[in-house]
Amino acid sequence: MSSLSGKQGPRYRHMAEDGAPYETIAVEKLTPIIGAEITGVDIGKLVSDKSRSNRQMDEIHRALAENLVIFFRDQHISPQQHLAFGRKFGELHVHPAAPNDGDPALMKIYADKDSPRANGEGWHTDVSCDLEPPMGSILYIKQCPPRGGDTLFANMYAAYEALSDRMKTYLDGLTARHNGEHYRGQYANYGIKDKESYPYADHPVVRTHPVTGRKALYVNGGFTRYINGIPRDESDGILRYLFQHMANPLFQCRFRWQENSIAFWDNRCAQHHAMWDYWPHTRSGHRVTVKGDRPV
């Protein structure tokens, strides 16, 4: 793994400089680089109270842009309020293969003693096999194992900024193929039967975030299969390097769930990895996912 510091100082300079104070929420960073816990918000009230919502919503938006993933504790919301919270950020995305609970946009997150594995293992951004992958995901966990089941998040601006200038130049303008083949066991439930119909998309290897204007690495181990226009063995080598580079703990935070916690992450600049280390216990909740734009 490359060293990220040296005689010239750290190659990564984080954006965690304190900006203007927040007025309607409190924001406590988990690490200087990624993640913040938000207090002073009751999401159930926020979605029904129109008069209060705009100011707080603006600050929640800002906290997400500044921290890439934000966390809320002790939230007591119904599935309808969860969906309504998601809709405040945009139209809702329907997962092409994952099970839902009543509403197609209410994705079920569930693992217990009978599960062969849990959703979301391995580093990924959600559904990057879509032409317009989700901008964000809002996960509400209602039941937690006594230990384990944490989710890790990694900052893809930081990963990009820490690359050498030569590597940045090399990656500039390249696109990569993302495909959703790993959901293959689940498509049949949703009417997709043949391999040719599995979703896939080509996206820039480095994308520019539409809100912050910053560049972020946009390849991930879950979906990205190869870089277009270069020999396959070269693509394999470059992707192997990038996946290893972006998994550096320097770019990460780790969230320890409690019942009734929410994590809201920005898929355009963060990756996540759910730990499946709690068998035979149960972990359960729902994810509401907000549609995004075509990456550029």
Contact residues for ligand SIN, defined by CB under 6 A: 109, 119-120, 137, 139, 151, 272, 274, 287
Nearer Cβ to ligand SIN (73/232)? 73
Distance CA 59, CA 25 (A): 7
Alpha-carbon distances of 175 from 154, 203, 230, 272, rounded to whole Å: 21, 5, 10, 21
Catalytic site positions: 124, 126, 272, 287
- In whole angstroms, the minimum distance from the beta carbon of 275 to ligand SIN comes to 8
Nearer Cβ to ligand SIN (42/150)? 150
What sign has the CA pseudo-torsion 139, 144, 149, 154? Answer: positive
Residue 10 has phi, psi (to 5 degrees) of -65, 140
- In whole angstroms, the minimum distance from the beta carbon of 44 to ligand SIN comes to 22
Nearer Cβ to ligand SIN (268/287)? 287
- In whole angstroms, the minimum distance from the beta carbon of 120 to ligand SIN comes to 3
Q: Using CB atoms, what's the residue nearest to ligand SIN?
A: 120
- In whole angstroms, the minimum distance from the beta carbon of 119 to ligand SIN comes to 5
- In whole angstroms, the minimum distance from the beta carbon of 41 to ligand SIN comes to 20
Nearer Cβ to ligand SIN (95/215)? 95
111 close to 243: Cβ distance less than 8 angstroms:
no
Nearer Cβ to ligand SIN (12/140)? 140
